[in-house]
Structure 1
């Protein structure tokens, strides 16, 4: 992020959801550690990709950044202001600048409202009266996202999934935001439509200078859209780097395994450029995560040190500037990964 002013900074961000049980008194018997000590930064106009397996805490992190959820611990700084536990009145000046595009275009739009009402709603709530009126601005936004302005009076059920997601994008743009959190915005769409929506977001990011936190599990889409990428596993960031540096020289074993699963189109007589790493075991429960490194139960490099010490997210020897890795035994650069997991099982929880 050299040369870029920091717009959003997240330090030690934590969200634990209490689990209640017992009879007749409902007492707290545990906690789901959905997000546990996440550190992230996003620069002005920058696109940051957040990737990882389902259930690793990506969407929860996005909702914490937008303050749709209250953090358990940590600090969120936006434009130099601490908004971690800001109340409704304190958040008011920032609400219009931080918007979200939701994963499901069918559930995120009110079926009883017209498209015009959905897109102009944020302006009405924030008492914004643009030049020419809210209706004119809403029609302009529909045109910007590739829809016909005449769709203003139609209802969501009259549109396809891709068109609904474009409506969600238009709603997010209504308040001229500086930061948009896109929570898997194309995962519910047909493959033929995904590229159109991603290209639309990329165009908006470039032309309007909007910063993005792009949450996804499709690594190919993240590489196409994001300038920097952060890899998440079981509530923690395990590696973060510039797009090309991370994809070409992953240092964390989990990142290496994740990238090895990306399908490659090669001729039948040409060997694959990347060896598939098959991880053994299941992802541990966030109710009772492993001590130390959370990936150690599935890692082929795990030792007793991995169980005793939590690796810090730091720059390791050989990494480029801004390339941070949380591993005691990072993978060597420009070499094939070490033994397969089947040859060296991780340390049990």
Structure 2
């Protein structure tokens, strides 16, 4: 395939080649990548329908009998348009990272359908995936584990070019140095090893590796959660600049609700393997409808602790096991609005109130569409309620002002 003109980021920063997912030394065969083109607004890039991933549980004599499944992802539907950033939030263990790996085909889906650019890649073979491997990239959560400690930075970033058979003008070393400069690193660090870099610098190396094939879709699996707070903003702003300049679509997986709101145009909220609410960021953060979304948003720190009308929802119990999830609505065991119908029927993910803004909610009894609807805190955990109602100890002689 002939070399074509590459889009640039900033001044002299073209982008060319990186593997779909290259953990410590892993490599994937792929054909020469076609540079990403400027996307048309609203053009569909990725469409996921009914996607499931069950991990088998074996037991019995010599562990040869299947006795159950871990339902990590159990019927997920969403789409991503070209150039769009979809944020995915939820508690640990809800299936966010597994969803990202299913999209990149690092994991084989148990059921459902994954379409990329109109092509069904759900169960595509290695050979069938080769032409699009370079278009779907992944930035891993742990920058300390996702880079091969035995390879230099130059080798890590240039290896995808070798895999894809790409020989850029000026040579691969020049290309790698350009990528290092693109992500804010010193090009003279070409021969350094990963252990010589800080966490934020290592994550920038991962970003450079992901950018090197001009991907059309990047799955960022909590790319800043392992970094110092002072570095997180730098990496997020770098990714945002990349998205705007190159028109790359993102599936941005994170726990930090503020970062997701800053980076993503649409938000999907996951709970126990399912998406319970999805919509644009203004409606999700300003007018949430699902009780779990209310609880999730109420847990976010508030810059103004004295602000009036702030609700604080504390959920009782723990997240149920994905091995044996509750019937009907999976959130009902912790929901303050649960009724019999919640155990009998699983609520569909639909638009409520006849709206046509793409805000979908899976709840039989949705909340009022505002985060300030209730005037009182909701405390569901009996132990917490008892602790708050218990008489406090006698005050000291002097007290510091609140």
Band the TM-score falls in, shorter-chain normalisation: over 0.9
Contact 1:300 1:343 in 2 (8 A): no
Q: 1:300 aligns with which of 333, 336, 342?
A: 336
CA contact (8 A) 2:314 2:381 kept: no
For the residues of structure 2 that align with 1:30 and 1:210, how far apart are their CA atoms?
39
| Alignment partner, residue 333 of structure 1 | 369
Task: Give distance in 2, aligned partners of 1:341 and 1:103.
Answer: 33
CA–CA distance in structure 2, aligned partners of residues 199 and 25 of structure 1:
48
In 1: Cα distance, 2:106 partner to 2:98 partner: 9
Tell me the secondary structure at the aligned position of residue 282 of structure 2.
helix
- Match of residue 319, structure 2, among 259, 283, 300: 283
**Per-residue deviation, residues 209-267 of structure 1 (Å, max 9, x unmatched):** 10000000110110011010000000000000101111000000000000001111226
Structure 2, unpaired ranges of 5+: 1-39, 383-402
Provide the rounded CA distance (Å) in 2 between the counterparts of 1:55 and 1:90: 31
- Spell out, residue by residue over 1:149-176, the C-alpha distance to the aligned partner (whole angstroms, 9 max, x if none): 1111111011000000000000001111
Matched, 1:62 2:77: no
Q: Secondary structure at the match of 1:143?
A: helix
TM-score by length of 2: 0.82
Q: Does 1:195 align with 2:254?
A: no
Which whole-Å CA distance do the structure 2 matches of 1:216 and 1:65 have between them? Answer: 16
Does the Cα contact within 8 Å between 2:313 and 2:377 map onto a contact in 1?
no
Structure 1 residue aligned with 2:186, among 148, 151, 156?
A: 148
CA shift, 1:271, in A, is 3.5
Larger Rg: 2
CA distance, structure 2, for counterparts of residue 24 and residue 322 of structure 1? 50
Question: What corresponds to 1:347 in structure 2?
Answer: none
Q: Please, which moves more after superposition, 254-263 or 17-26?
A: 17-26
CA distance in 1 between counterparts of 2:47 and 2:82 reads: 11
TM-superposition CA deviations, 1:69-121 (whole Å, max 9, x none)? 00000000000000000000000011000000000000000011110110111
Ranges in structure 1 where 5+ consecutive residues have no aligned partner = 345-349
- Supply the distance in 2 between the matched residues of 1:202 and 1:332 (Cα, whole angstroms): 32
Tell me the CA shift for residue 3 of structure 1: 4.9
Q: Provide the rounded CA distance (Å) in 2 between the counterparts of 1:304 and 1:44.
A: 42
Instruction: State the alpha-carbon separation in 2 of the partners of residues 261 and 216 from structure 1.
Output: 15
Q: Describe how 1:55-94 pairs up with structure 2 within 5 A.
A: 55-94=93-132
Which 4+ residue blocks in structure 1 deviate beyond 6 angstroms? none
Q: 1:96 aligns with which of 134, 138, 144?
A: 134
The normalised TM-score by structure 1 is 0.95
2:359 is aligned to 323
* CA shift for structure 1 position 134: 1.5
Q: Does 1:311 align with 2:347?
A: yes
